[in-house]
Amino acid sequence: MKIVIVMDSFKGSVTSIEAGKAAKKGIEAAYREQSQPEISVLPIADGGEGTIDAIFHRFSEQIQTSTVQGPMLGQTVLAKHGQIAKKVVLEIAETSGITLVEKEKLSPWEATTYGLGEKIKQCIQEGARHFVIGLGGSATNDAGIGMLHALGVRFLDQSGRELGYRLKDLDGLASIDASQIFPELSDCKFVIASDVTNPLCGEQGATAIFGPQKGVKASDQVTIDALLQRFARLTEEATETTMKEESGAGAAGGVGFAFLSYLQATIVPGFDEIARHLHLEEEIQTSDLVVTGEGLLDAQSLMGKVPVSVARLADKYNKPVIALAGGVSKEARQSNNQGIQAYFPTIQRIASEREILSKETTLAAIEATAEQLFRFAQLFQ
């Protein structure tokens, strides 16, 4: 029997490959006294946390780091990127990620994507011209204003005075000057890996749908959305483009819009882009069983996050899929209609949130759940 394990990261706890190896260890323990199945562990991501590690897991020597501004003012972070020749893979989660900010300090008014712009500029100066950028896992709702400022775009008030690059600085925004944008950008190609299809503004826009998890208060939603509407209108004047309603414009708090409008980027489904790099379809096609999972299997999972995306791919070849998740919501049952034959929560006892989310506890829980599941499966073989 050949088992392919394709686990997403359990955000804030373990990486994709760590989760997969824990599941493998549990399965091997279940078959300790029998013939061991062939088990392959593949990392995966959907454009969010772990994208670089997934694509470069066999070429870790190609992963480099540099220091850039983090999501909050005065914060610096050591951000990774993967590079082969002139092609670079970046993650907004590395420069402006939600895991880089303490939950109680999240603020859409303060958080910035400036560090992502710094990272792009650094890579260009090192010779990169082809970018694949994952937009999942951001702490920001600034529509890419910070990133654009780092790349040379200026934001001006009515008197022509230059404004700052955080959302809170843009109340007086009257015009945008993109004439000084970093010139080498015209030679670059940007492919954005994101499974978000939301527009920039409105009821299904970045602020309304994703803002609350980034610290957007209900009382601020209308104000912030109006600021992004104004930014979009002025961007149309500055770039002669109309991108705010495009699919994916709302990705990463509107960074998708900035890439589409100013950098002529192409947005592709994040999971599909990474799965292509990993030849995941070929691995699944030759398997007998697929094991997937993530930290929380819930309603958002059904919108195309890793476990359901893996299941849809496996369904093409009639391969059964089992999911392991740290926690499951009542909506998780709907995943049974989307290719996941069965799912199993790994949290095994009541404990504090800090303990449950610790790496040690998470890995032990994945391993134990996988072992008991496959011990049970042997009763019917």
Q: Over 80: is that where the pLDDT of 348 sits?
A: no
What mean pLDDT is reported for the chain?
Answer: 94
Distance in angstroms (rounded) separating the CA atoms of residues 152 and 160? 16
CATH code for the domain defined by 51-270: 3.90.1510.10
Q: Hey, how many other C-beta atoms are within 10 angstroms of the C-beta on 79? A: 27
Q: What is the longest distance spanned by two Cα atoms in the chain?
A: 78
Cβ-in-10-Å burial (0-12, 13-18, 19+) of 11 comes to buried
Give me the pLDDT at residue 301, please.
82
In sequence order, the 6+-apart residues with CB closer than 8 A to the CB of 194 are 47, 134, 135, 136, 248, 251, 252, 256, 267, 268, 269, 270
Lowest mean pLDDT among 83-87, 146-150, 243-247: 83-87
Mean pLDDT of 188-198: 94
Mean pLDDT of 79-95: 94
Please give the C-alpha separations between residue 126 and each of 66, 121, 245, 262, in angstroms, as whole numbers: 12, 9, 34, 21
Give me the pLDDT at residue 224, please.
98
The two domains 2-43+281-378 and 51-270 share their CATH topology (first three levels equal): no
Q: Any bridge partners for residue 343, and if so which?
A: 323
Q: Over 80: is that where the pLDDT of 354 sits?
A: no
Q: Which residue ranges make up each domain of the chain?
A: 2-43+281-378, 51-270
Lowest mean pLDDT among 121-135, 242-256, 262-276, 295-309: 295-309
Model confidence pLDDT, tens digit, residues 304-346: 789 999 999 999 999 999 999 998 989 999 999 999 999 999 9
Please give the C-alpha separations between residue 170 and each of 91, 161, 263, 377, in angstroms, as whole numbers: 25, 12, 21, 58
Closest CA relative to residue 263, chosen from 165, 116, 139, 55: 116
Higher pLDDT, 59 or 365: 365
Mean pLDDT of 221-248: 97
The answer to whether 304 and 193 have CB atoms below 8 angstroms apart is no
Give me the pLDDT at residue 135, please.
95
Architecture of domain 2-43+281-378: 3-Layer(aba) Sandwich (3.40)
Model confidence pLDDT, tens digit, residues 116-163: 999 999 999 999 999 999 999 999 999 999 999 999 999 999 999 999
Distance in angstroms (rounded) separating the CA atoms of residues 265 and 256? 9
Provide the pLDDT confidence category of residue 88 given band limits of 50, 70 and 90.
Answer: very high
> SS3 letters for the chain?
CEEEEEECCECCCECHHHHHHHHHHHHHHHCCCCCCCEEEEEECCCCCCCHHHHHCCCCHHHEEEEEEECCCCCCEEEEEEEEECCEEEEEHHHHHEHHHCCHHHCCCCCCCCHHHHHHHHHHHHCCCCEEEEECCCECCCCCCHHHHHHCCCEEECCCCCECCCCHHHCCCCCEEECCCCCHHHHHCEEEEECCCCCCCCCCCCHHHHHHHHHCCCHHHHHHHHHHHHHHHHHHHHHHCCCCCCCCCCCHHHHHHHHHHHHHCCEEECHHHHHHHHHCHHHHHHCCCEEEEEEEEECHHHHHCCHHHHHHHHHHCCCCCEEEEEEEECHHHHHHHHCCCCEEEECCCCCCCHHHHCCHHHHHHHHHHHHHHHHHHHHCCC
How much of the chain exceeds pLDDT 90, in percent? 81
Q: Over 70: is that where the pLDDT of 93 sits?
A: yes
Closest CA relative to residue 66, chosen from 113, 108, 116, 100: 116
* Residue 68, token pair as written in the block: 């850039």
Give me the pLDDT at residue 34, please.
86
Model confidence pLDDT, tens digit, residues 12-69: 789 999 999 999 999 999 999 888 999 999 999 988 888 998 999 888 889 999 999 9
Q: Over 90: is that where the pLDDT of 108 sits?
A: yes
Cβ-in-10-Å burial (0-12, 13-18, 19+) of 219 comes to exposed
Give me the pLDDT at residue 351, please.
67
